[in-house]
Copies of this chain bind each other. A is one copy, B any other.
Amino acid sequence: MSSNEVSQAAAKAAARAQDAVDSGRLNDAIADLAAFGGRSDGGVSRETLTPLDLQARRHLIERARALGCSVCVDTCGNLFFRRAGRQADLPPVLTGSHIDTQPVGGKLDGAYGVVAGLEVIQALNDAGVATRRPVEVVVWTNEEGSRFGPGAMGSSAFAQSGRLAGYRASRDASGILFGDALDAALADTPDVEHSALGHSVDSCVELHIEQGPVLEGANVPLGVVTGIQSVRWFNVTVSGAAAHAGTTPMEVRRDAMRAAVELAGHLYACGDAVRARGLRMTLGRWRVGPNSINTIPGEVEFTVDARCVDEDVLASFEAALRDAVAGLNAADGFAAQVQNLFARATTRFPADMTDLVERGCARAAANAGEGAPIRVTSGAFHDAMYVADLCPTAMIFVPSRSGISHNAAEYTEPHQLYLGAQALAYVVAELACR
Contacts and interface: CB of A to CB of B under 8 A. Distances in A.
A103 B407 CA distance: 36
Contact of A284 (B283, B297, B303): B297
Interface stretch (A67-75, A135-143, A244-252): A244-252
A63 interface: no
A380 B257 contact: no
A339 interface: no
A333 interface: no
B379 A243 contact: no
Interface in A231-262: 231, 233, 242-252, 255, 257-258, 261-262
Contact of A403 (B247, B403, B407): B247
A246 B284 contact: no
Given A245-B305, A268-B261, A280 B250 contact: yes
Contacts of A272: 250
A233 B285 CA distance: 25
Contact of A286 (B245, B286, B406, B407): B286
Interface in A402-425: 403-407
Contact of A261 (B246, B251, B252, B265): B265
A292 B151 CA distance: 13
B247 A211 contact: yes
Interface string A315-330: 0000000000000000
A200 interface: no
A160 B268 CA distance: 49
A404 B294 contact: no
Contacts of A231: 246
B280 A291 contact: no
A271 B245 CA distance: 13
Interface residues of A, number: 59
A213 interface: yes
A8 interface: no
A285 B275 contact: no
Nearest to A146: B292
A243 B293 CA distance: 28
A294 B288 contact: no
A208 to B, nearest CB: 11
A286 B257 contact: yes
A281 interface: yes
Nearest to A341: B293
A293 B233 contact: yes
Interface of A: 210-214, 229, 231, 233, 242-252, 255, 257-258, 261-262, 264-265, 268, 271-272, 275, 279-286, 288, 291-297, 303, 305, 307, 341, 378-381, 403-407
Given A243-B404, A284-B296, 20 more contacts: A212-B249, A242-B407, A243-B403, A244-B403, A244-B405, A245-B282, A245-B305, A247-B378, A248-B280, A249-B280, A250-B275, A252-B403, A258-B283, A261-B265, A262-B265, A282-B294, A282-B296, A284-B288, A284-B291, A285-B288
